Structure 1
Amino acid sequence: MARTIAKDHDQKRAQILKSAAKVFAEEGFDRASMTKLATECGISKANIYHYYDSKDAILYDILDSYLSTLRDRILDVDTEGLPPEDRLRRVIREILRAYQGADHEHQVQISALSALPEDQQDQMRTYQRDMVKFMGDCLRQAAPEVFEDAPAKLRGATMSVYGMLNWYFMWNSDAGAQERDDYADLVCDLALKGLRGI
């Protein structure tokens, strides 16, 4: 007879992923052991294997869950009827809000994505490319005269905006919603107006 799935199966998997992200971020994926993961989760190592057959499977699920959810949240932000500059401002705010509480997952993305097999890395990069393209579209619409027929300039500006957002994420992870919105406005103003415009 097949083993039934516990009612709290998804909740326990989510807890394992959250705890594993903390361990991977703090100790490094290569150095983290299943024993350490079990201790952090507060369950036995055998119980972890009930949910995941390997540390690699846990890493994949952390990154797939984090990046697909982040991508969907950013691409689904409601900008209907907004002028291009307001659309850009809303998207940048939503990115900073989405980063809140995801410190460990974000660090794992930076430090451990390369540990995945190439096909899984490609899947994660697709999520990242979707977000980069979306931000690029927002910037192009906000300043079409700057980016028309200038793909290299658009890519540079897009990655610079993400660079500013990631800097804030790395150094202000405990910032609240209003602080994030204020910084999002600063980034938007810098992108649209330059230093003399803020």
Structure 2
Amino acid sequence: MARTRSENYDGIHLGILTNAARLFSAQGYMRASIADLADACKLSRGALYHYFDSKEAILFAILDAHIREMIEHVETAVAAGGPTLTQFQNVIRAIVEVNAKSPHEQRVLIHDLSFLNADEQQTIKDLERQLVDIVTDLMLRLDAEGRIVKRTKKIYTMILFGIINFTYTWYDPKGAIGPQEFADMAVELFLNGFAPGGAAKSVAANRREKV
């Protein structure tokens, strides 16, 4: 006979993911025990296993939910339309805003993905690829001068993600610069840099000469 769900099942399920992400972020996935998880979630071990079969299942659920939420926000930003630059700006805003409200999940994604089994890792990596492909496509559409080629496409994309994905190590979204303004600063810096146009072109020309 199937076990019935309690009325607050979804709330407890979400609470487990939220508290587990905070615990894994602070303590590390491998060092966090089931007992630690039960304490963090204010549940018994038996209650915890009612929602998840294992600690690994909780880790997978955290990462899967985090990436899917980000993809959902990014796809919504693209679907809103507008010029390519506007779409690009809105996509970066979406990513920064999700990361800003989910720093623990982002830390766990970057540091603990390798603790999942191979199939689960591939599922998360496939989701990440969807996200990367959306951003890369917008970058290519913005690249009027053809700077992004096969050899450099991954590097340019990862430079951008490097700017926005590691903010959990230092950025305070409640500080003087909010997530939206931070995202706009990242877009401006990535697309235009600090130097005047002539200086930026000279750097690009010097790089091409050395290749």
1:79–1:143: structure 2 CA closer, same or farther, 3 Å change rule? farther
Q: Partner residue of 2:56? A: 56
Runs of 5+ consecutive residues of structure 1 not aligned to the other structure: none
Structure 1 residue ranges (4+ consecutive) displaced by more than 6 angstroms after TM superposition: none
* CA distance in 2: counterparts of 1:3 and 1:194, whole angstroms: 58
* CA distance in 2: counterparts of 1:129 and 1:152, whole angstroms: 18
1:176 positional shift: 6.1
1:28 positional shift: 1.1
- TM-score computed with the length of structure 1 as normaliser: 0.90
Q: Partner residue of 2:31? A: 31
* CA distance in 2: counterparts of 1:75 and 1:117, whole angstroms: 28
Q: Partner residue of 1:98? A: 98
* CA distance in 2: counterparts of 1:136 and 1:9, whole angstroms: 38
1:53 positional shift: 1.7
- Equivalent residues in 2 for 1:126-145 (5 A)? 126-145=126-145
Q: Partner residue of 2:89? A: 89
1:155–1:47: structure 2 CA closer, same or farther, 3 Å change rule? same
* CA distance in 1: counterparts of 2:116 and 2:27, whole angstroms: 17
Count of paired positions: 197
- Equivalent residues in 2 for 1:42-191 (5 A)? 42-78=42-78, 80-147=80-147, 150-175=149-174, 179-191=178-190
Query: Which has the higher mean CA deviation after the structures are superposed, 17-26 or 68-77?
Result: 68-77
* CA distance in 1: counterparts of 2:174 and 2:154, whole angstroms: 28
1:191 positional shift: 2.1
1:152–1:16: structure 2 CA closer, same or farther, 3 Å change rule? same
* CA distance in 2: counterparts of 1:43 and 1:7, whole angstroms: 16
**Rg larger in structure:** 2
1:136 positional shift: 0.7
1:162 positional shift: 0.8
Q: Partner residue of 1:4? A: 4
* CA distance in 1: counterparts of 2:62 and 2:81, whole angstroms: 35
Which digits, 9 at most, give the CA deviation of each residue in 1:84-105, with x for residues without a partner? 2222111111111111221111
Check conservation: 2:173, 2:179, Cα contact below 8 A: no
Check conservation: 1:24, 1:32, Cα contact below 8 A: yes
Check conservation: 2:16, 2:41, Cα contact below 8 A: yes
Check conservation: 1:190, 1:197, Cα contact below 8 A: no
1:147 positional shift: 4.1
- TM-score computed with the length of structure 2 as normaliser: 0.85
Q: Partner residue of 1:20? A: 20
Check conservation: 2:70, 2:94, Cα contact below 8 A: no
* CA distance in 2: counterparts of 1:99 and 1:177, whole angstroms: 17
| CA RMSD after TM alignment | 2.0
* CA distance in 1: counterparts of 2:78 and 2:28, whole angstroms: 37
* CA distance in 2: counterparts of 1:62 and 1:163, whole angstroms: 21
Runs of 5+ consecutive residues of structure 2 not aligned to the other structure: 198-211
